[in-house]
Structure 1
Amino acid sequence: MDTATVLHLGSQALWVTAKLAAPVLITSLVVGFTISLVQSVTQIQEVTLSFVPKAVACALALVLTGHWMIAELVSFTEALWASVPTLVGG
């Protein structure tokens, strides 16, 4: 296995990781921004106020996109296993 193959596999792994993390991170970002905007407008500065809505939104994002996430991860893993004979053999 040469350096180019290792770099390609590493970049694919990072890309899959980014795709899988994006729905939850974007949801958390949007909900957090919205709550902080509401807090700044109403001047309610309660730290725990943002935790529950973000947790619920992230759980909802996982429920809605969980099947897709698993399908992406299985597809990546199958592609990796399919490439093992070619990587080891030459």
Structure 2
Amino acid sequence: MDAQQVFTFGQQGLYMLMLVAAPVLLTVLAVGVLVSVFQAATQINEATLSFVPKVVAAVLVLAITGPWMMTTLVEYIQRTLQTIPQVVG
């Protein structure tokens, strides 16, 4: 196993991490910005007002994209495990 293969495995792993995490992170970011704008406009400084909508949005996105995330991760793990004999041998 040379350095190029290690780099490729690392690159693919980071790409998969970003691909799977992006829907939840972007949704929580958007909800957080909207709630912050609402709080700034109304001058309401309640901590739960910023926390609860983000949690609800994250749960909804996970419920919607969860099957796709699992399928994507399982396919990636299968590909990775299938390449182990080629890399070692």
Same fold (TM over 0.5): yes
Q: Give the Cα–Cα distance (whole angstroms) in 2 for the partners of residues 84 and 29 of structure 1.
A: 37
Q: Give the Cα–Cα distance (whole angstroms) in 2 for the partners of residues 48 and 36 of structure 1.
A: 12
Shift of 1:85: 1.1
**Structure 2 residues without counterparts, runs of 5 or longer:** none
Counterpart residue identity of residue 64, structure 1: I
- Structure 1 residue runs of 4 or more that deviate by more than 4 Å after TM superposition: none
Q: Give the Cα–Cα distance (whole angstroms) in 1 for the partners of residues 47 and 74 of structure 2.
A: 38
Q: TM-score, normalised by structure 1?
A: 0.96
Q: Give the Cα–Cα distance (whole angstroms) in 1 for the partners of residues 72 and 86 of structure 2.
A: 22
> 2:87 corresponds to which residue?
87
- Residue 66 in 1 paired to residue 66 in 2? yes
Q: Give the Cα–Cα distance (whole angstroms) in 2 for the partners of residues 84 and 69 of structure 1.
A: 23
Q: Give the Cα–Cα distance (whole angstroms) in 1 for the partners of residues 44 and 50 of structure 2.
A: 11
Q: Give the Cα–Cα distance (whole angstroms) in 1 for the partners of residues 22 and 38 of structure 2.
A: 24
Counterpart residue identity of residue 34, structure 1: L
Q: Following superposition of structure 1 onto structure 2, how do residues 37-52 of structure 1 map, counting pairs within 5 Å?
A: 37-52=37-52
> 1:2 corresponds to which residue?
2
Identical residues among aligned pairs (%): 46
Shift of 1:82: 1.0
Counterpart residue identity of residue 77, structure 1: I
**Structure 1 residues without counterparts, runs of 5 or longer:** none
